[in-house]
Amino acid sequence: MNKKRLIFVLWLVLFPLVTTVCLTLYRFFRGFEIGIEQMIPHFLAFVVTGAVARFIWYQSETIHQKGK
């Protein structure tokens, strides 16, 4: 897989899924209620965070390549 695609998948798919699963497990072990309506806002926030991180990574790689 292309390196750019791998980073894209990592930040926009894998990062939100892993963090949401970790949050769900934390809530489960602490005895809090777990519902899809409680996890969707967190998942969407992690997707946005991943998109911003991906954009910053892409811009830094572009600047680094132009400097060569």
The full set of domain ranges for the chain reads: 3-67
In the DSSP assignment, the letter for residue 32 is: -
pLDDT digits (tens, 9 = 90+) for 5-39: 787 777 778 888 888 899 899 999 999 888 888 88
pLDDT of 68 higher than 70: no
pTM of the model as a whole: 0.68
- For 42-63, what is each residue's pLDDT tens digit? 888 888 888 888 888 888 888 8
Tokens (6 digits) for 58: 């892409």
51's tokens: 């998109």
Backbone angles phi, psi at 2, to 5 degrees: -60, 145
Write down the pLDDT at residue 1.
63
